[in-house]
């Protein structure tokens, strides 16, 4: 251990400790002797107690001298600095690597000071203890290894660098301390031949070291590495909200939260959690956490009606508060207006052409909250499409020319159209009046399935090839695909199919290869044609469980709801791909209302803007730009940045495993506060107080 002082200039005050002695010498004088018989007896008594009085005076003199010396020493700021290596004799160059990762924001037990502030303070103490001939360089380790100060003997420059580190604050991302070791070794390799040492001021969390071994510059022997933990012996007790999933369930939404608990104590605990929407509490609950375990909690809320909004899930705050809350995106229920044109309306409800369709699109069943209006073909007027996003023409024989013209304009402008066949459909008339609204021309109506003894085809045939990668049919990729195989169709329309392209394609076929569902494009709109009926006249599909989700998905797709991409979610430091509008030549990234970055043509990869500058958690909004002006169209409204999940695990690195990872580098682990410079001022002041009390006792006796 080495003793140093933070204010060595005050040591001149030790000269004041000689004042009690000077005062004693000045007051000590011999009086003239005058014989006086009356006091002869008293003089004989004084000689017997002379030794005791002399001892008391000497003790008071020593106490007062020490009292002044202790006060001066305490004011000079004595520090006890540990000598970390026996070879620290002679000139030494040390590289101080300060960990700036998110986990350094954790506070110490029973203290409001975070570990990053503790690391900076220890670095100050080491710089203050710098002796002539020694050199120090400063590095800050986070995602990037930043050289704050090159190796220097100047304490002023080093303190200036530490001020800069403290002003910039602790980071939000992960740190790679192995990369920090490599960067520090590169700085040490530029120094003259002398003792070299790398001192890492960190919380010592295992996640910061990874698994790879450091690679040193050629010709540099592995330096001594000192890992100095600033966490002391604080117990590990940290929980984190590691994931939030939002699942629509009709008019409700399920918010599933995942919690992880890291703790050194074996006992479980009940953790309170809360869901906030627009800053207001929407749901609360408790989740039981066990050390090292993962727990889930599901909150069920009524899906809000309206635009999307940013929500937050919060839990109780612990020593690392930054991972105790997590943002999530909630797409509110937006009403989709649909116009249903019923070509075969009947008085018996279950025989009506739209009986099954209307039940499938009932608002209580659909998360998108579809509202629809049903009319007959003779009531179909151009104004009927006002406010609609989707139109359904079910078994319609004919409509007015004005209605057809408005329907073509509706689809060309981006509306969706669902067409279905039936007994009212005349092939030649439909080809003539629908024209370009049809993906392919209709050829004929045919019977499907094996021929029965009575000449009928009651059994029908099932579906064959299904394009499961299409948004409308992707929901049949699992067990639902088997349920779809139970559908049987007895009659359908044959199409004059041609070459498939990006404007028309077959999405689903019958078992005999005939198209069952086709998609076409007209302008900005989409058309889906189902070659059978939406009731049970030609197929049993409306009576099967797969019919309802199919229709819901089809209407959502035609309305454009499925094109609303959820915001990407990334961790701090990761890159994010942001879909680009065709006419966009730039993009603005905003955080907290201010422009964070402006992306240009050079940031486009594979048709998307790529942004890698998210340095802190939160919500980042985006604006598509063209010619310096904001575009009204959008692909995603923004993206969410979360704290790195690995930073929540505060478990310390195993020294033996780290030594094996470092190879030939000599590792010294200074655990807890043993590696810190210890201030002796408080102890000296306590000793001074004890001397004052002892002096008072001596004087009274």
Q: Based on the number of CB atoms within 10 Å of its own CB, is 81 exposed (0-12), middle (13-18) or buried (19 or more)?
A: middle
Q: Does residue 622 share a domain with residue 690?
A: no
Whole-number percent of the chain with pLDDT over 90: 48
pLDDT at 86: 36
Q: CA–CA separation, 390 vs 385, rounded Å?
A: 9
Residue 567 per-residue DSSP state: P
Sign of the dihedral through C-alpha 495, 499, 502, 503: negative
Q: Do residues 388 and 461 both lie within one domain?
A: yes
Number of other CB atoms surrounding residue 317 within 10 Å: 11
- According to DSSP, the β-strands at 416-420 and 390-394 are parallel
- Please give the DSSP secondary-structure letter assigned to residue 173: S
Same-domain pairing of 378 and 403:
yes
Q: 289: burial class by Cβ within 10 Å (0-12, 13-18, 19+)? A: buried
How far is residue 519's CA from residue 408's CA, in Å, rounded to a whole number?
A: 16
**Residue 178 maps to which CATH number?**
3.40.50.410
Identify which has the larger pLDDT, 617 or 13: 617
pLDDT for residue 70: 83
Assign residue 517 a region: left if phi > 0, alpha if psi is -120 to 50, beta otherwise? Answer: beta
Q: How far apart are CA 580 and CA 305, in angstroms?
A: 28
Q: What percent of the chain has pLDDT over 70?
A: 88
Identify the band that residue 257 occupies on the pLDDT scale cut at 50, 70 and 90: very high
Can you tell me the distance from the alpha carbon of 544 to that of 475, in angstroms, rounded to the nearest whole number? Answer: 15
Give a yes or no: residue 232 inside a domain.
Answer: no
Cα separation, 311 vs 289, in Å, equals 23
What's the mean pLDDT when you consider all of the chain? 85
Say which range, 95-99, 235-239, 545-549, has the weakest mean pLDDT. Answer: 235-239
Residues 18 and 73 in one domain: yes
Instruction: Give domain status of residue 172, yes or no.
Output: yes
* Structural domain boundaries, residue 282: 237-331
pLDDT for 365 beyond 70: no
Domain count of the fold of the chain: 5
> Is residue 493 included in any domain, yes or no?
yes
**Which whole number is the average pLDDT over 671-697?**
72
Q: What is the pLDDT of residue 699?
A: 77
- pLDDT, greater one: 32 or 342: 342
For residues 82 and 417, give the distance between their C-alpha atoms in angstroms, rounded to a whole number.
Answer: 79
What region does 292 belong to: left with phi over 0, alpha with psi -120 to 50, or beta?
left
* Amino acid 510: pLDDT: 95
Q: Is residue 408 in some structural domain?
A: yes
- The last residue of one of the domains, among 331, 357, 386, is 331
Question: Taking residues 586-614, what's their average pLDDT?
Answer: 91
pLDDT of 677: 52
Read off the pLDDT band of 10 (50, 70, 90).
Answer: confident
Would you give the DSSP letter of residue 533? -
Which helix (H) or strand (E) is 281 found in, with range? strand 280-289
Q: What Cα–Cα distance (Å) separates residue 121 from each residue in 114, 204, 371, 383?
A: 11, 17, 64, 74
CATH number at residue 243: 2.60.40.10
Distance CA(555)–CA(562), nearest Å, equals: 10
Task: Confirm whether 532 is domain-assigned.
Answer: yes
343 to each of 74, 358, 415, 524, how far by Cα in Å? 98, 14, 20, 26
- Domain assignment present for 602: yes
Q: How far apart are CA 665 and CA 185, in angstroms?
A: 11
Residue 209: pLDDT band (50, 70, 90) is very high
How far apart, in Å, are the Cα atoms of 103 and each of 99, 171, 332, 545? 9, 9, 35, 50
Q: Report phi then psi at 318, rounded to 5.
A: -120, -155
Closest CA to 596 of 584, 604, 605, 587: 587
Residues 692 and 688: their CA atoms lie apart, in Å, by: 6
* The overall pTM is greater than 0.85: no
Phi, psi of 424 (to 5 degrees): -80, -10
Same-domain status, 579 and 630:
yes
Helix (H, G, I), strand (E, B) or coil at 664: coil
Instruction: Check pLDDT > 50 for residue 367.
Output: no
Which position has the higher pLDDT, 417 or 30? Answer: 417
Rounded CA gap, 464 and 516, in Å? Answer: 9
Q: Are residues 395 and 360 in the same domain?
A: yes
For 13-67, how does the pLDDT look when each residue is reduced to its tens digit (9 = 90+)? 778 777 777 777 776 655 556 665 555 555 555 555 666 777 777 887 888 888 8
Q: What CATH number does residue 574 fall under?
A: 2.60.40
pLDDT value of residue 570: 95
Q: Do 221 and 241 fall into the same domain?
A: no
Per-residue pLDDT of 84-135, as tens digits, reads 443 445 688 999 999 999 999 998 776 678 899 999 999 999 999 888 889 9
76 and 88 together in one domain? no
How confident is residue 391, by pLDDT bands cut at 50, 70 and 90? Answer: very high
For residue 644, name the pLDDT band (cuts at 50, 70, 90).
Answer: very high
Higher-confidence residue of 427 and 306: namely 427
Given a cut of 80, whether residue 701 has pLDDT beyond it is: no
444 and 550 fall within a common domain: yes
Q: Which helix (H) or strand (E) holds 258?
A: strand 252-263
Last residue in a domain, options 542, 563, 584: 563
Q: Which residue has the tokens 């099954």?
A: 356
Mark whether 384 and 319 lie in a shared domain.
no
pLDDT band at 167 (very low <50, low <70, confident <90, very high): very high
Note the Cα 185 to chain centre separation in Å. Answer: 32
- What is the helix (H) or strand (E) element at residue 592, kind and residue range? none
Mean pLDDT of 370-390: 91
Judging by beta carbons within 10 Å of its beta carbon (0-12, 13-18, 19+), is residue 334 exposed, middle or buried? middle
**Rounded (5°) CA angle 386-330-615:** 125
Beta strands in 567-698 (DSSP E): 569-571, 576-579, 586-591, 594-599, 604-605, 608-611, 618-626, 629-630, 638-642, 667-670, 678-679
Tell me: do 344 and 401 sit in the same domain: yes
CB of 393 closer than 8 Å to CB of 422: no
Domain closes at, from 279, 313, 331:
331
Residue 561 has pLDDT above 60, yes or no: yes
Q: Both tokens of residue 529?
A: 């044609």
Please give the full DSSP string across 44-106, using - where no structure is assigned: HHHHHHHHHHHHHHHHHHHHHHHHHHHHHHHHT-EEEE----TT--S-EEEEEEEE-SGGGGP
**Does a structural domain hold residue 616?**
yes
Tell me, yes or no, whether 48 lies in a domain.
yes
One domain for residues 443 and 350: yes
Exposure of 513 in the CB half-sphere (CA atoms within 13 A): 1
């Amino acid at each position: 251990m080495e003793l140093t002082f933070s204010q060595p200039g005050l040591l001149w005050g030790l000269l004041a400790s000689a004042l009690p002695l000077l005062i004693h010498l000045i007051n000590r004088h011999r009086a003239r002797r005058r014989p006086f018989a009356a006091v002869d007896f008293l003089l004989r008594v004084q000689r017997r107690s002379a030794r005791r009085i002399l001892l008391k005076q000497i003790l008071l003199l020593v106490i007062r001298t020490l009292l002044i010396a202790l006060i001066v020493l305490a004011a000079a700021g004595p520090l006890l600095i540990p000598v970390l290596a026996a070879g620290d004799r002679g000139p030494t160059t040390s590289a101080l690597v300060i960990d700036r990762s998110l986990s350094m924001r954790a506070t110490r037990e029973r203290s409001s000071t975070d570990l990053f502030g503790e690391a900076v303070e220890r670095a100050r103490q080491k710089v203050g203890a710098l002796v002539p001939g020694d050199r120090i360089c400063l590095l800050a380790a986070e995602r990037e290894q930043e050289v704050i100060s090159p190796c220097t003997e100047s304490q002023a420059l080093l303190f200036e660098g530490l001020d800069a580190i403290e002003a910039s604050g602790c980071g939000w991302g992960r740190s790679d301390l192995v990369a920090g070791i490599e960067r520090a070794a590169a700085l040490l390799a530029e120094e003259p031949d002398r003792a070299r040492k790398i001192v890492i001021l960190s919380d010592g969390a295992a996640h910061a070291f990874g698994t790879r071994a450091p690679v040193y510059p050629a010709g540099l022997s592995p330096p001594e590495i000192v890992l100095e933990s600033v966490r002391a012996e604080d117990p590990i007790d940290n929980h984190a909200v590691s994931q939030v999933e939002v699942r629509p369930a009709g008019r409700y939404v399920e918010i599933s939260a995942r919690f992880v608990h890291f703790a050194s104590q074996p006992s479980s605990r009940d953790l309170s959690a809360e869901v906030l929407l627009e800053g207001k509490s929407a749901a609360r609950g408790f989740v039981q956490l066990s050390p090292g375990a993962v727990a889930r909690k599901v909150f069920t809320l009524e899906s809000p009606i309206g635009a999307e909004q940013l929500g937050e899930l919060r839990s109780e705050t612990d020593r690392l508060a930054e991972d105790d809350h997590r943002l999530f995106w909630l797409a509110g229920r937006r009403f989709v207006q649909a116009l249903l044109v019923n070509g075969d309306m009947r008085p018996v409800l279950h025989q009506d052409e739209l009986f099954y369709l209307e039940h499938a699109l009932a608002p209580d069943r659909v998360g998108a909250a579809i509202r629809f209006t049903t009319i007959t073909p003779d009531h179909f007027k151009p104004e009927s499409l006002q406010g609609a996003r989707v139109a359904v023409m079910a078994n319609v024989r004919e409509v007015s020319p004005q209605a057809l013209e408005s329907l073509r304009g509706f689809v060309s402008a981006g509306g969706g159209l669902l067409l279905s066949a039936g007994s009212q459909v005349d092939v030649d008339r439909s080809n003539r009046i629908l024209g370009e609204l049809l993906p392919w021309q209709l050829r004929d109506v045919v019977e499907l399935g094996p021929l029965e003894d009575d000449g009928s085809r009651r059994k029908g045939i099932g579906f064959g090839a299904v394009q499961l990668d299409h948004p409308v049919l992707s929901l049949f990729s699992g067990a639902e695909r088997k349920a779809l195989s139970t559908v049987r169709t007895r009659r359908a329309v044959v199409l004059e199919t041609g070459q498939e392209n990006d404007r028309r394609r077959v999405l689903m076929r019958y078992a005999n290869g005939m198209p069952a569902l086709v998609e076409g494009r007209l302008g900005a709109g989409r058309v889906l044609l189902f070659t059978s009926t939406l009731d049970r006249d030609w197929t049993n599909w409306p009576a099967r469980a797969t019919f309802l989700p199919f229709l819901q998905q089809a209407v959502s797709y035609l309305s454009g709801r499925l094109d609303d991409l959820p915001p990407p979610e990334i961790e701090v430091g990761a890159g994010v791909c942001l879909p680009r509008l065709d006419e966009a030549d730039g993009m603005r990234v905003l955080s907290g209302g201010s422009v964070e970055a402006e992306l240009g043509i050079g940031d486009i990869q594979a048709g998307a803007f790529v942004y890698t500058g998210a340095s802190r958690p939160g919500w980042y909004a985006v604006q598509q730009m063209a010619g310096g002006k904001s575009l009204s169209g959008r692909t995603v409204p923004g993206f969410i940045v979360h704290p790195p999940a690995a930073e929540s695990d505060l478990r310390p690195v195993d020294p033996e495993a780290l030594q094996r990872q470092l190879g030939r580098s000599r590792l010294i682990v200074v655990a807890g506060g043993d590696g810190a410079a210890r201030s002796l001022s408080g102890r000296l002041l306590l000793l001074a107080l004890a001397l004052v009390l002892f002096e008072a006792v001596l004087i009274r006796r």
